[in-house]
Amino acid sequence: MVDYSKWKNIEISDDEDDTHPNIDKASLFRWRHQARVERMAEYDKEKEDLKRKRQSYQARLMDVKERISKKDGDEAALKIELTKIENDGKELDRLENDIKKKEKKTPWNVDTISKPGFEKTVINKKVPRQPEENLTEEERGQLMKEFVKANETLCKQYGMMRKYDDSKRFLQDHPELVGENTANYLVIWSINLQMEEKHELMAHVAHQCICMQYILELAKQLDVDPRSCVSSFFTKIQQCGPEYRQQFESEIEAFKGRIEKRAQEKLDEAIAQAEAEEREARMGPGGLDPADVFESLPDELKSCFESRDIELLQKTIATMPVDQAKYHMKRCVDSGLWVPNAADVDLCTDEPEDKSDDKEKSDSSASPDKSSEEPIYAGVSTEDVD
């Protein structure tokens, strides 16, 4: 059974109330309202006085207790003062109970029967879409760096979310993420995850990236700010038909395919760059690759370098035509395979001038002197040559 007793004690004027014929009804209502307002003002004043006394009581009580704990002053006098303050606190409690009883017995009126739930109404207006600024690539890159520096943690939190409702609330709480910069960051993150062979995580981040791109595309179609499309997209994706869902999933799969392709390209580029750096590091003083030079040598010279036999190398060179020997040995020097001694005569120099003694010339070309022409194989000391 419903208890209607609380509705009997209501102080509200009614046009059907019986009044004396000589008393104007409007004036009577006005007098009643004025008296009620005065009573409420007096009641509010009592509550304010009690609140002020309560604050003073708390301050005095804490001060005396602190002085007693620190033994600051006459202990007996402090205890007497503490007892007095506590009695004042009991009196305040009694006054507070009286006010509560008085409030409970006060009839409801037009000012107290209800409380406002809200005092303003917010109407969503169409947010105009921000015009794209004519920025250079360098300026866009700088803005992207600043965005990532400020919001990288939030972007990763959004990228890791799994439920549409969570993503919706997160973007509504962080509207600064709704934009091209977040989509670009998620693309880069997806590529890095694919390169690290974290395929499942890449697929999840790709899904969140497509959600962001759909929001941006919806904003472009409606010509509004993307932040105003967050709720619309997530409501639609959760209530969409099979065709829209299939299109959405197809877009995700196509995006994942592009991510995988780009990640493989970046891996190939990284491998090629590493090989180029390695090749550059092993270049000889003449700018030739020792590996390429070694492969171009005749088999008999290859055997000399593989066996690291200097005497065999000298004999092999002596048996070769002078031009051919000079050609190969110059390439060996330029690639760093063969390091000539600074005191020696380089094989790559021009042919010696004709001397008057033809016998010395023929002897020099037939059997080279060790002390006059002995290049040193890389990794072999001069003691080995001697």
CA distance 270 to 153: 27
Last residue of a domain, one of 278, 309, 330: 278
Q: Are residues 147 and 263 in the same domain?
A: yes
CB 81 within 8 A of CB 73: no
CA distance 285 to 307: 23
CA distance 304 to 160: 61
Last residue of a domain, one of 254, 278, 302: 278
List the Cα angle 100/102/108 in 5-degree steps. 105
Short-list 1, 15, 202, 13, CA closest to 111: 13
**pLDDT score recorded for residue 357:** 44
pLDDT in tens, 172-186: 999 999 999 999 999
Q: Are residues 151 and 261 in the same domain?
A: yes
pLDDT in tens, 172-229: 999 999 999 999 999 999 999 999 999 999 999 999 999 999 999 998 888 888 998 9
Range of the domain at 365: 290-385
CA–CA distances in Å: residue 83 to residues 61, 69, 195: 10, 15, 76
CB 304 within 8 A of CB 320: no
Structure tokens of 38? Answer: 């005065």
CA–CA distances in Å: residue 152 to residues 183, 198, 212, 259: 12, 19, 15, 20
Q: Are residues 222 and 325 in the same domain?
A: no
CA 343 to chain centre: 62
Q: Are residues 251 and 348 in the same domain?
A: no
pLDDT in tens, 255-303: 999 999 999 998 888 888 887 777 776 666 666 777 778 788 888 888 8
Short-list 148, 168, 178, 249, CA closest to 207: 249
Which three-class secondary structure state does DSSP give residue 108? strand
Q: Are residues 270 and 192 in the same domain?
A: yes
**pLDDT score recorded for residue 116:** 66
| CATH code: domain of residue 252 | 1.20.58.610
Residue 123 lies in a domain: no
